[in-house]
Structure formats: C-alpha cells, structure tokens
Chain A
Amino acid sequence: MREKKQNNNLNSFKELGIFFAFIIILAVLMILSPKAFARPANLINILKQASINGILAAGMMYVIISGGIDLSVGSIVALSGVIAASFAHPGEYPLIVPILLAVLAGSVVGLINGIGVAYGNIPPFIVTLGTMTIVRGVALIAARGQPVFNVTKEFEKISGGFIFGTIPNLVVYFVVITLVLAFVLTRTVFGRRVYAIGGNETAAKVSGINVEKIKLLVYTLCGFLAGIAGLLLASRIISGNPTSGQSYELDAIAAVIIGGVSMSGGSGKWYGTVIGALMIAVISNGLDILNVSSHFQLIIKGLIIIVAVLVDIKGKAKK
C-alpha cells in the first residue's frame, strides 16, 4: 500500500507541476508590475486574449490525444472569418447566417481532414498540411486577397459584447466550450474512445471500436471549433481577413503540449490544456506590460514549450 500512496503523490505532484509553474509566473509578473498586470481589468483581458487560442487548443487536444495532429486550424480560422464577414454586411442576411456558414465551413474542412486520415490512411501531418495550404488559398480567393470589411453592429457584438457589463462574451464562450468539451472527454464513451485509439489503435480495433468513425468525429470536431474561432476572430477584428490566423495552429499545439498532453497520443488532461492556453496569454500580456519587445517574446515562448516538454519527459522517466 505504501507504493500506491507514493505513486499517487508523484502523479498529483506532476499534475500540480504545471499549476505551480503557472502560479509562479503569475506571481513574478504581479511583483514586477503590481499596478498594471494585477489589475482585475487586465486579468479579464488575459482571459479574453486566451479565449480564441483556448478554443482552438481544445479541439487540438482531442486530435493529439487520438494520436494525430491538425495543422489546418489556422487556415480554417481565416476561411471561416472571411465567410462570416462576407455574409454580415448590413442589410443583407440575418445574423444567424454568417454564424452558421462560418461554423459549417470549419466543420467541412475538418470532415475532409477526417476522411483523409481515417479512410485514406494518410498520415495526419500530411493531410492537414495539405488542407492548411488549400484552405488558405480558398480564403484568399473568397476574399479576393483583401480583408472583408463593413459588418453589422450585431456581428461586431458577438465577440465585442459583454455579459453583466463586465465579462467579455469571448470569455464566456471560452469557459462554456471548455466545460462542455471537458465533460465529453472525461465522462462520455466517445471521450474514452479518443483516449483508447490514441493509446493503442490496434487494441482499440480488436476491442470492437470503430476507429475510423472516431477519428472522423475528432477531426470534424476540431474543424468545427476552428470555425467558431474564425467567427469570433472576425467579429473581434470587425472584418474577415484571409491572412489572419497565421501560425494559430502552432499556438494551439503549444498550449496542448505545455499542458502536458503527450504528442504520441493516449494521455493528457483537459485542464492542462486550459492552463497551457492561459500560460501563453499571461506570458505575452505580462511581457507586453514589461515592455519586452515582441521579438524577445517569441524566444521566451519557444523556450517555455521546450522546458514544459522536458519536465514532462523527466517526470515520466521517474515513474
């Protein structure tokens, strides 16, 4: 029984590790800049900044746990943003139209990714590298290479609005989507199967799991969420920009990995991904406030990714 206890301690310590790191970074920033950083308004601002990446990261987490990767989400953000903005000009369509079309566009790209991975047996990296490029092209064509401006006030309010006058809508979306996806991942048969195929695909197949169907659903879900993210971004920047969302896929992957999800699939916790997304936002916000140039910020962000994975690997080796 002694071993059990120590094992649990070790596990919880490892899981706490990411929390500690997060809290330490928060504490350091609060000490360095108590006035600017620690203001409640700024903390809410951080949540807002984390929200779009957080939504993308949640979808990416499903894909990575299932043993895959999705590089196309940044391009989906651009495409669905362009589509949303194009149908949001004043006096044309009701608000629901741009919303549905944006989400549909993302889901369709996700479905195509899923078909390529699950039924075409093409490695996810290749399929989504391809769709990343194609979808970016489609977005540029759809927008004729120019940002799509002139959207309605209601459209602007999707991301720009507040609840109770203080909490930005974006934060609410982030929290709701995260909670729903966390529930699906941890409590449903679907979530369990995502882990199972990432952990051992052959064993999952032999156990009667329809591996192809689960993969299809996972990539579609990821595309769906990227569609939402694109809609939200377009609303936030009050335009559909076909060059937006560049390298968003990498930020999403970074959040997932910082959160301790294994790149080889089969393991990882949803709250790790949330912390990962928050961490990225906190760091860039904090460094902005400290007047660190955005060039240096890139270096710091990269180092944090590597250190996070290093800690993860060392933690596993000890077990």
Chain B
Amino acid sequence: MSKQYKAVALISGGLDSLLAARLVMEQGIHVEGINFFTGFCVEGHTHAIRKQHRARPRRNNALWVAEQLGIRLHIIDIIEEYKQVVINPRHGYGANLNPCLDCKVFMVRKALEWMNAQGFDFIITGEVIGQRPKSQRRVTMPVVARESGAHDRLVRPLCAKILPPTLPEREGWLERDKLLAFNGRSRKPQMTLANHYGFDDYAQPAGGCCFLTDRQYSRKLSDLWQTRGERDYDLDDIMLLKVGRHLRPRPGFKLIVGREEGENRYLEGYRRRFVHMIPVSHPGPLVLLDGETGADDLELAARIAARFSKGRDAAEVTIEVTGKDGTVRNLTVAPLPSAQIPQEWYL
C-alpha cells in the first residue's frame, strides 16, 4: 500500500491559498490548513468593532476556506514571537511598516515546525511570482525557502512550473504537470480557476490582509514607538491603533476618540487603564487619554471631545472626566472649532 503523503497549507483566507490547497488535494494528498494570528490581521477585528461594517459577512475567511475545502484548520497565536519580525525585519519594510518578506519567512518556518511535529511531508503556499512587489518576486522565492529552512519541501502549486522542481515533485508525490505556471499581478487566472472549481464567494482582495500595509496604521505605530522611546508593543497597543481617531496635540499625550457606537463600546473595555472622558450634556464619543496630562491638557482634550460630540455647535458642552483612580469631575468647555485642530495632530 502506498504512503499517504500529507501537506500543511498556509491558509490566509484569500483566494490564492484556497486554490493552492485545492490543486494539491486533487492529487490525493492529505491537506490540513494552518493560519497564523499576528494581531495585525485585518480579518475579524475591525468588522467586529465597527458598527458600520456589520453589513459585511462576519465570517473568518480562513475558516470559510477550510470548510470549502473540507480540511482541518489550525489557528496559531504568534503574537509574541511575531514582534521580532515587526521590530527588526532583516529584509526591511515595504512601503509602510510591512515586513512582508520577513513575515513570509517566519510563517513558513513556523509551518515547518508544525509539519515536523505532526509528521507531515511538505508545505504549500498560495504564492505567485510577481503577485506582490515586496515578497512575491522570482528573487524572493528561494530566499523564503532557504531562510525558513523548508528548502525543497516548500511547494507553490500556483507557480510551481516556473520554479525548480521541489522534493515532492522529484519524488513523484506530486505530478508537476498538474501544477500551474501563474505569473504576474493579474488575478484573472485565479478567478478562472476559482470558477472552474465552483468557488464563488471567496474573499476579495482589498488592500491586503495586514494592517501593517496601511499607511495610516503604520504612522500610528511609528508614533507609539517614538513616544515611548522604544520599539515594542503588546496586543492591546496594536488593537487600540485600529480603533478611533488618534490625535496627538502635544508630545506627552494622545487622544483616542471613538468614531461611532461600536468603537465606543470597544474602548469602554480599556477605560480603567486611561484617564477618559465622555460628553454628558450631549451625545458624544468616549475619549481615552494616553500619556501624562496636566490641567491645560485636560481642558484641551475636553474641548476636542466636545468638538466630536453632537454639541459641536453649542456654546458649551459638559464633559465628564474620570481619572485612573476612578475620581470623576465635570468640565464645561467650549467645543474647539475644527479650524483650530491642526491637521498634523491627526495620526
């Protein structure tokens, strides 16, 4: 009886990894999926927080892909280990603070560890040569294979035919002729293949799967590091950067202003860790104050909170201010006119 070969597929929730896994399953390989949670994943959180996004499906796309394929999916929390990838990327950043190549190397290395621990034979990814400007180029493919330690046990089924044969191909575990030769940025070949397989509700690419590719998010993370004087973070830090307007009127403190009901509710979970304020004379946002605040700062923050309340055109708005020690007091202030909020305060 021939051996049942087993592959672990990196499943992002997008179309490419879905198709790559499907292609390999077609050759009788037992496939299981692995998905890494870095804390920067666009998946899930933002949709869960913001009320305006509730029309979108709430599904986790990696789980959805696994269910379409009929495979198990293992979701791995790599928040702590991933810090070194973000803080000290060996290959540097992309357009923003996205360490895409180091990220790919790291994830394939983690998949390799999982593969060895579980007795699997090789790794598959949905990478396509030329698909991404930083991490998916012809020159980076061998870098990922080499630096991850996966070497020729790393198979990219969607572009395998234009890469050197891997171990599974050479050994006949996979038929190379049945793999593909996708190349370049066009999504048409993937969409045609998805149609062939009957996949029609897959996640549409919308600016990547990671907040680190987002310019505004990266700016907020840079500001966090600069303010603290060190390049470090914890999960709460990076979650809070996804929520609300962030304004830094003075170097010593920052305001996080909820933009709508869902964000206010989310920020409520953090209020005990921050001086916080909320308008009480008019409906308005919950505002967290991050940093050290003097009396002048508190008044400025209250005026900004008033600006983002329904009382923005009123002569006065009363703001309830709660200290970290739980003491509560009210400040009655004039809302700060928009024109007096310099654009550079917005992170």
A and B found bound together: no
**B residues near A, CB below 8 A?**
none
**A residues near B, CB below 8 A?**
none
